[in-house]
Amino acid sequence: MMLSPNEINLADSHVMAIINLTPDSFYAASRRATLEDACAAVERACREGASIVDLGGYSSRPGAADVSVEEEWQRVHRGLEAVRRVEAGVVVSIDTFRSEIVRRAYEEFGEFIVNDISAGELDCSMAATVARVGLPYVAMHMRGTPETMQSMKDYEGGVVGDVCDYLARRSEELQFAGIARERIILDPGFGFAKSAEQNFELFRGLDAVRELGYPVLVGVSRKSMIYKTLGISAEEALSGSLALAWEALRGGPAILRVHDVAATRQVLELSKHYFQSR
């Protein structure tokens, strides 16, 4: 069964498992094309220690093509049905920027976390929909759309300052729309409208994001900032992903959105012993 998001403490660190229900996500091993694949992925993520499973039916990789609401819903529904069949006892997150997906999912399956790459700016009904049903909400920094974002990497005030200014302003707007402050989670949007150098600069500035006073989600798993820097492929980027997971935890609690749950869970457990014993 799906747990209520209220059953996890967002003041602690958590591993969020990526379950891509798309045919074109950048890391091929994360794609789950059938209900059976999705069930196996949910079961494995929970067995390996994920607190949250993040279901995505719309690829947000750079240059990704648009898909219809109906196609996205078919994919997301498959993931939600997998959670229900597995009875995993896990909190669900849905990676969508469409309020219609949120509405349908809530009506059929109940509470979950909304993980919105656009912070509500690609669908003017999103904030009101989330506020009406009282769901936790991840607001991520991005510019443009997945198709156009890589042409929008100029930051006049520096990437850290501009991202923090945006997230501060947007979180206030979301509260004005009715989303409770304690339900807002911020994601600086690594890889979205940012060069590799800007991604690392932003990573070094995570403390500034935390100072805004909200839980922080960090999603760098197997991304191009790792594999292009190292001259390898996404399939070879586990070690780099784990190194950045450790660094993300150095500054305090975080939700780590990852492809590799068991390995990241080990990093999280070691970080608790290391940082708490200092």
The separation between the first and the last C-alpha atoms of the chain, rounded to the nearest angstrom, is 38
pLDDT band at residue 23, thresholds of 50, 70 and 90? confident
What's the rounded Cα separation, in Å, for the pair 127 and 97?
Answer: 10
The string of pLDDT tens digits covering residues 114-164 is: 999 999 999 999 999 999 999 999 999 998 777 777 778 899 889 999 999
Residues 6+ apart with CB under 8 A from 38: 19, 21, 32, 78, 79, 81, 82
Span 33-42, pLDDT tens digits: 688 889 999 9
- What are the chain's domains? 2-276 (3.20.20.20)
**CB distance 39 to 82 below 8 Å:** yes
pLDDT given at position 252: 92
pLDDT tens sequence across 189-235: 999 999 999 999 999 999 999 999 999 999 999 999 999 999 999 99
Which residues are catalytic, by number? 223, 257
pTM of the predicted model, to two decimals?
Answer: 0.93
Question: What value does the mean pLDDT take over residues 48-56?
Answer: 95
Q: What pLDDT shows up at residue 27?
A: 52
pLDDT above 60 (res 83): yes
pLDDT at 237: 96
Q: Which pLDDT belongs to residue 146?
A: 75
**What's the rounded Cα separation, in Å, for the pair 108 and 97?**
18
